[in-house]
Structures are given as C-alpha cells and as structure tokens.
Amino acid sequence: MKRTLDQVNQEETKKPTSTKVKVIIIAGYNGSKFFGSQKQPEKDLRTVEGEIVKALCDQELIYRKDLGKFKNIAFNRATRTDKKVHALQNYFGCKLRAISVDLSEVKEKLRKSVPDDIKIFGLLKGSSKFNTKLSCSSREYLYYLPSFCMQSLKSQTSYDNCHKYRIGGLDEINKVAEMYKGTNKFHNYTQGIHPKMGSAQRYIMQFKAERTLIINDLELIELFIKGQSFLYNQIRKMVGMVIYVIRKGLPIEVIKNSFKDNTFITPLAPGNGLILQRVCYDHYNKTGDSVELPEADNASVEEFKQQLIEYMAENELKENIYVNWLKKLDTSDEGDTEDHIHDYKKYNESES
C-alpha cells in the first residue's frame, strides 16, 4: 500500500531527533555506463545512487557503517532511470551528518568525489514537508532521435548513408505524438501491468517534436515528453511506436488501439537518446519553500546537456545503434503492419 506525503511526514515527526541534516541533491549523469540510477547492492552493479552514496561516505558526510544501508540515511529519489538513460536534473534526498560547514562547501566536496559521468548541480537543505518523489507534480524528458528513423520505408532504398538523411518537417510526427496526450492505459508500453490495474493509467501532458539540430553532420529530432509519472520503458515504447507508425505508413488512429484492453506489441526504441530533463515541483514551490535549482547553476546544466547530445550523436556515428535497431524493426514478424491494421479495423468496428 502506497503512503501519502502526510503519512510519510507523520512517521518522520514521530522518530527521535538525530544528529543528521536532511538535504536534497540535484544531479545529472551520463547513463551509458550505469545499470540504471537506483541502487542494486545485492547484484553489485554500478548505479548512480551507489556512486553518490559512496562519494558521501568518502567525504565523511555519512557514517561508514551506513554505507549500503540506504534506510539509515533516509535515501530517496524523485524518479528512477533505466539502464543507459541519461539525466540533467534528478533529485535525491538523504540525511547527512550534522556538520558545521555550509552547503556550498559540501557541494564542492561532493563534486570532487563523484566520478566524471555524474555532475552535482545543486545541494539544498530539505524541509520536513518535502519528499523528492511524493512532492513531485510532473516529470519532463527529452529524446534525441536520428531523423532517418522517421523516413518512410517506401522512400528508403537502403540503410547505407542513413546518417545523411534530412527530414522535411515535423508535422507528421506531431500528429502521431498528439494521440498520446491525456489519460490512457499504458499496459502495452511496459511489463507486468494488466489493463485493469489502476497503475496502467498515466496522464501525458505534452508529447511533441520541438526542433531539429545537426551534430557532426547527423540530424537529430528533439522530442519533448511531459507527464505526471511514467512506467518502466513507457517513453521508449511511445517513441518506438511513433517511429513504427510513420515508417510503416499506418493510420495514426492505430495508437488508440494500443490503449484498449488487449495485447498490442509496441517496439522498444534504444535508451541511448533518452534524457530526464527535470523533475517539476510546481505545487510544492508555490508554498514558498522552493526547491528549484538556483539560477546561477543553470549554465552548468546547459553545458552538460550539450555534452550529452554530442555524446549521443557520436555514439550513433560510431556504433550505428539506430541503423541496426531499424533493420530489426523493419524485418520483424511480430506486430507487423497487417496485424496492426487488422486490430485498428476491429477497434473501429467495435466503436461504431
């Protein structure tokens, strides 16, 4: 049973006072060499949270006896990111040893101690009313997609020189992406979720292609996705389905059928292009106790964002991640064009 923010706060106030200080860590990271963001101590895998807690211990900001015991420091996160997924601003909460130095000094210590693929952008003092996950009102993601993924199969003659492709406009993409807005069942966009489960319902506020940019002669499409919360792999499957519909020339209304109480195969786009842009605390910030990143640190975030985009483009040019993924997608027998058109027709008949 999930706890509400009020229940969490009541539990915290009942606990005896300690010599620890509640803080909020705002961090970005290149997820390529991580097995996701969330700790996995039982598997001894490299994660973002594991590296942050190790750095806290190395700087004697938490007791060594608490290393690996995340409950002892009340460690929590705003959202989890999957293997190879990047972030610009993810929020982590924990309790540090009560120390006399100011938070700016603690931030600098932490910056020097974390590995190069993690960036510490902010360190704020947390109030008893704030919880990184429960206080969050929405989450924003960016997905940088090579534009050749949106080329129609009818016009594509081969996979050679895909990286030279230039898209004519973004209108078609936005017509498909628009189908996702609102509250729908996303059981077909994750694993282990039944359509009758309440957790299948997700509210998508925005999904659109914002712009194109060229990095090292590779054209990328910047997709913006905003929602209250997301299921495991949901965004990557949403992107994968948009690609599938456009490449196969399917009617965009096929997307509606994937929200029905059925089994609908949705392709999983690579994680290489996905970035958690920021976690939004709009409602909480209106209380007057803002947890926004200080304006002075925004330039560092933008610089890191550009580094991530360049890294993703370079990765594609070296490893052909999306070219190889398209080859599998275009020749897959699962959920082929005829199946999806058949499902779409059945859906239309049931609605009439």
Alpha-helical (H) ranges within 18-177 are: 48-58, 103-113, 171-177
Residues 6+ apart with CB under 8 A from 182: 203, 204
How far apart, in whole angstroms, are the C-alpha atoms of residue 193 and residue 121?
35
How many helical (H) and strand (E) elements, i.e. helices and strands, does the chain have?
10, 9
Residue type at 339 in one-letter notation: D
Cα 157–chain centre separation: 33
Dig out the tokens for 51 from the structure: 């590296």
Angle formed by the axes of helices 321-331 and 298-319, nearest 10°: 60
How far apart, in whole angstroms, are the C-alpha atoms of residue 149 and residue 221?
10
- For residues 69, 73, 78, 82, the Cα torsion angle rounded to the nearest 10 degrees is -20
pLDDT at 2: 54
Closest CA to 171 of 212, 227, 232, 204: 212
Per-residue pLDDT of the chain (352 residues; tens, 9 = 90+): 555 545 544 554 444 445 778 889 999 999 999 998 988 766 778 999 999 999 998 888 888 887 777 888 888 899 989 888 999 999 999 888 876 567 888 888 899 999 999 999 999 888 878 889 988 999 999 999 999 999 999 888 889 989 999 999 999 999 999 999 999 999 999 999 999 999 999 999 999 999 999 999 999 999 999 999 999 999 999 999 999 999 999 999 999 999 999 989 999 999 999 999 999 998 888 876 788 877 768 899 999 999 999 999 999 999 999 999 999 999 875 544 444 444 444 433 333 2
How far apart, in whole angstroms, are the C-alpha atoms of residue 80 and residue 148?
29
Maximum C-alpha span of the chain? 70
Residues 6+ apart with CB under 8 A from 177: 207, 208, 209, 223, 242
Closest CA to 95 of 51, 63, 138: 63
Cα first-last separation, the chain: 40
Dig out the tokens for 342 from the structure: 């058949």
127: three-class secondary structure by DSSP: coil
Burial class (CB in 10 A: 0-12, 13-18, 19+), 229: middle
Write the Ramachandran bin of 52: left for phi over 0, alpha for psi from -120 to 50, otherwise beta.
Answer: alpha
Dig out the tokens for 207 from the structure: 């999904």
Domains of the chain as residue ranges with CATH: 5-125 (3.30.70.580), 138-351 (3.30.70.660)
Could you say which DSSP state residue 171 is in?
H
pLDDT at 69: 77
Answer yes or no: are the C-beta atoms of 242 and 167 closer than 8 Å: no
pLDDT at 225: 98
Q: How far is CA 129 from CA 24, 126, 320, in A?
A: 12, 8, 47
